[in-house]
Amino acid sequence: MNPHAEEMRRTAFQKSAVLKIPPADALQFAIAYLKERGYRAGPAGRPNQLFVLGGAEGRLPRVTGEIAARANVGKAGTTLLTVDGCGERLGPTLRDLVLAIRAESKARTSAIPVNGATGQVDN
């Protein structure tokens, strides 16, 4: 088997996450997160998709990944984020991205008052 194909198979990462934030916000979060970690990320040729590029990792001369966001999956306001890529460092970085964006989604939804509640107690 081709050593590059074997390395890609060994370091592959694929995961989906269901979020309660708009696709544009999820993709902007992903771009910022990946740029902080030394990867190039930006809009791909299709709407609501990002490319991820990095330098050599392990036996791979270059690493790539893709992130796609679909709006209103299941019900309104729900975003399905699909993340995939391969690389010695990129795979774990993408896993950490999924965990971080899920935490961001939970933080945003818990910060929204329910039924107009302001969080203040009337005396």
pLDDT digits (tens, 9 = 90+) for 21-69: 999 999 999 999 999 999 999 999 899 999 999 999 988 999 999 999 9
Binning pLDDT at 50, 70 and 90, where does residue 120 land? low
Contact 18, 98 (CB under 8 A): no
The reported pLDDT for the residue numbered 88 is 93
Binning pLDDT at 50, 70 and 90, where does residue 123 land? very low
The reported pLDDT for the residue numbered 49 is 96
Domain that includes residue 81, residue range: 3-108
In a domain, 116, yes or no: no
In a domain, 20, yes or no: yes
Percent with pLDDT over 70 in the chain = 89
In a domain, 87, yes or no: yes
Q: What is the pTM of this model?
A: 0.85
Between 25-34, 75-84, 106-115, the lowest mean confidence (pLDDT) is in: 106-115
Q: Torsions phi, psi of 32, nearest 5?
A: -65, -45
In a domain, 117, yes or no: no
Tell whether the model's pLDDT for residue 121 goes beyond 90.
Answer: no
Count CB-CB contacts under 10 A for residue 18. 12
Q: What is the CATH number of the domain that holds 30?
A: 3.30.310.80
In a domain, 121, yes or no: no
Tally of domains within the chain: 1
The reported pLDDT for the residue numbered 3 is 85
In a domain, 79, yes or no: yes
In a domain, 122, yes or no: no
Cα–Cα nearest to 95, from 30, 12, 13: 13
Contact 79, 89 (CB under 8 A): no
In a domain, 104, yes or no: yes
